Structure formats: C-alpha cells, structure tokens
Amino acid sequence: MTKPLISECTIWNNKNIKIVCKTIYYPHYIEARFSICKHILLNMNNLESYNIAKRKVLKQSNFLVWTGICQVIPPNLKHLEFNENELNSLEFQCGENHFNPLTSRSKHFYELLILRKARVSRGFIKRKEKFRLDDTAVSKAFLNLRSIWSETFVMTFQFQILNVITFTNYHLAKIGPNGLCTFCGIELETVHHLFYECSFTNLIWTDFASCG
C-alpha cells in the first residue's frame, strides 16, 4: 500500500490542524470540494489563493476564515509545487485591456492604480455643465492645482471645491439646525453659492479683478 502524499492529507478533523486547540470541520468547504491540504493553494499568498477559490467554487466564506485555515496548516503539510496554471488564472479584463500580473511591468500596475482615481466626479460634471467649460479649461483647472500653490492643504481644498465635495452649511444642515450661508445668512450655503453667488464673496472677486 502506497503512503499518501503529505499534501494530500485531509484538512478536516485532522489532529495536526487545529484552531484554538480544536480540529476544524467546515461543511460548506467540503461541499465546495475543499478536502485536502493542497486544495488550499498554499504556494500563493492568502489573498491570491482566496480570490481563485472564490472565483471557482467557494461561495460561502470570507477572507478571514480562509486565512485562518491557511495559517493553521503546519509547514510540513503545505503543498509547495509551483502550479503555473493556477497563477495564470489571475488574469482579468480591465476596460479594453487584458491584464496579466505575470507578464505586466510596473508601469502597467501603475496605470491600473490611477485608472480609478482619474474618474471625473459627478459633482465636477455638473460644474462643467454649469460653467460651460470645454476640455482645455477643465485640464487647466486641474493642472493649476499643482502649479499655483505648493501647500497640500490649499491644494486639497481647491480639489474639494472643483469636485463639489466641500462640506458647507447646506450639507451640515442635514445633521444640524441651519443650512444658511455663514456670510450673508440669506441663501443656502452650497459650494456654488459660497464661492460664486454670495454677495460677500463677490466683493472679494470684484476687488481681485480690479487688481489685475
């Protein structure tokens, strides 16, 4: 009789695999055909292996439970063979591009990272329509953030104004008593009112224009 490979040892009710001194038995893992150590894909990091398992069969679990199981399997039971087919399944579609982490270079990872950050906010789209800005004016507005001021706080504040995510009294009124403008006390304090319509702000803009 041939001795089973150590990586083919069962995970469930195994005296060598315990959480808080107790052997483990998770029926939903067994239903998803996770029964022996090598099914846990221990040659990868926990996140990679969890994503693959989740995509294939594992529906009822979460990352913490998965990580818990990975941690308690002793090193001598780990399956360390490199399985390229499993790694290849990390490929995914991103917009029009097919992204493969194995062949991608650092600049591709960077493009992936900034892809989501570069989305135009709904607030800015409204602002663009309101002021009838064309694409040149838009890029100028965002590029100016970097060139006009080097102080991070001011840049962040200007970025908030552009994207209409500044918390004004209008928004605070939803959790407080009053949404009226801090300066004129007449209109609702929206970002548009505060920086464009308010009679007090207009005094500053008029002053500013006369300096030029």
Residues binding Zn ion (CB under 5 A): 181, 183-184, 198
**Given the complex with Zn ion, which of 142 and 183 has the nearer CB atom?**
183
DSSP single-letter state for residue 195: I
Of 46, 38, 44, the C-alpha closest to 79 is 38
Name 196's Cβ contacts closer than 8 Å, sequence gap at least 6.
none
Of 120, 127, 129, 144, the C-alpha closest to 190 is 127
CB of 167 to Zn ion, least distance (A): 16
Q: Is 19 helix (H, G, I), strand (E, B) or coil?
A: strand
**Given the complex with Zn ion, which of 112 and 184 has the nearer CB atom?**
184
Residue type for position 10: T
**Given the complex with Zn ion, which of 162 and 198 has the nearer CB atom?**
198
**Given the complex with Zn ion, which of 138 and 184 has the nearer CB atom?**
184
CB of 200 to Zn ion, least distance (A): 6
CB of 188 to Zn ion, least distance (A): 9
23 strand-pairing partners: 18
**Given the complex with Zn ion, which of 99 and 183 has the nearer CB atom?**
183
Q: In whole angstroms, give the CA distance from residue 25 to residue 12.
A: 5
CB of 154 to Zn ion, least distance (A): 22
CB of 194 to Zn ion, least distance (A): 7
Cα-flanking dihedrals φ and ψ of residue 186, to 5°?
A: -110, -55
Q: In whole angstroms, give the CA distance from residue 70 to residue 79.
A: 11
Token look-up 């505060």 returns 194
